[in-house]
């Protein structure tokens, strides 16, 4: 099994607890999910390279920093949009790409249906966003699409993962770090993470 970076910061765990609860309304679920996404991205972006710049303060010139490479956020539609909405204000100059992958409810296999990717992937730091790493099928397929388009620096950011998904993703993409708030016990017979938090997309968007 791949060894993810598990974010155990108390604030992360408080927000995770809120979105796990079945009686958390959609608006509150979305708010806590976004706060958790901010914390996860802070960890996921920890090793981003920066370039030195000179800036003028009201009093003097001083040294500053700028990102060394473009940043691309890639939410997996649609649940990944909940993470993207929180992360984009932290990196407002980032490019946002989209990958659409549905899951066949009978086979649990990924079904890619949409991709809109920029031409800068080869030179960018890419963050793949998906709240749940369950079977790993969607994340594996999305990462493969990104690599085929030239991406080589990819980080997967997910809220909840499980051993099955981590094993599958780590086998297919051992070069892609995974940042998550939890590694849950298992999948049930419908390939939902247990204890998990249910369907992240449905709960985030109230459907």
Q: Which residues are catalytic, by number?
A: 103, 107, 199, 202
What are the domain boundaries of the chain? 5-205
What's the pLDDT tens digit per position in 122-174? 999 999 999 999 999 999 999 999 999 999 999 999 999 999 999 999 999 99
Matching CATH number, 5-205, of 3.90.650.10, 2.30.110.10, 3.40.50.2020, 3.30.420.40: 3.40.50.2020
Nearest to 151 by CA among 130, 131, 121: 121
- Are 100 and 74 contacting, i.e. CB atoms less than 8 angstroms apart? no
What's the pLDDT tens digit per position in 28-51? 999 999 999 999 999 999 999 999
Note the helical H segments in 66-199: 80-87, 137-148, 163-172
- Buried b / exposed e along 50-82 (16+ C-beta atoms within 10 A): eeeeeeeeeeeeeeeeebeebbbbbbbbbbbbb
Q: Quote the pLDDT of residue 3.
A: 86
Question: Could you write out the DSSP letters of every residue in 11-41?
Answer: HHHHHHHHHHSTT--HHHHHHHHHHHHHHHH
Count Cβ atoms below 10 Å from residue 207 Cβ, excluding itself.
9
- For 28, phi then psi, to 5°, come to -70, -35
pLDDT value at 67 more than 70: yes
Q: Quote the pLDDT of residue 86.
A: 97
Radius of gyration of the chain (CA): 17
Q: Quote the pLDDT of residue 193.
A: 96
CA-CA distance, 92 to 71, in Å (whole number)?
A: 10
Q: Quote the pLDDT of residue 65.
A: 98
């Amino acid at each position: 099994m791949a060894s993810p970076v598990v974010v155990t910061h108390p604030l992360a765990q408080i927000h995770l607890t809120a979105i796990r609860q079945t009686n958390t309304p959609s608006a509150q679920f979305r708010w806590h999910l976004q706060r958790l996404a901010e914390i996860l991205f802070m960890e996921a972006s920890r090793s981003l390279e920066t370039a030195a710049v000179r800036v003028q303060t009201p009093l003097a010139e001083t040294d500053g920093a700028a990102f060394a490479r473009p940043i691309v956020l890639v939410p997996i539609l649609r649940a990944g949009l909940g993470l993207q909405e929180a992360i984009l204000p932290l990196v407002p100059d980032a490019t946002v790409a989209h990958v659409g992958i549905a899951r066949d409810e009978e086979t649990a296999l990924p079904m890619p249906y949409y991709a809109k990717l920029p031409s800068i992937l080869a030179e960018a730091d890419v963050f793949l966003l998906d709240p749940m790493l369950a079977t790993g099928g969607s994340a594996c397929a999305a990462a493969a699409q990104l690599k085929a388009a030239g991406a080589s620096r990819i980080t997967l950011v997910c809220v909840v993962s499980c051993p099955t998904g981590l094993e599958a993703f780590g086998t297919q993409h051992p070069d892609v770090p995974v940042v998550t708030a939890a590694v849950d016990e298992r999948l049930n017979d419908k390939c939902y993470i247990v204890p998990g938090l249910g369907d992240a997309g449905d709960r985030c968007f109230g459907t």
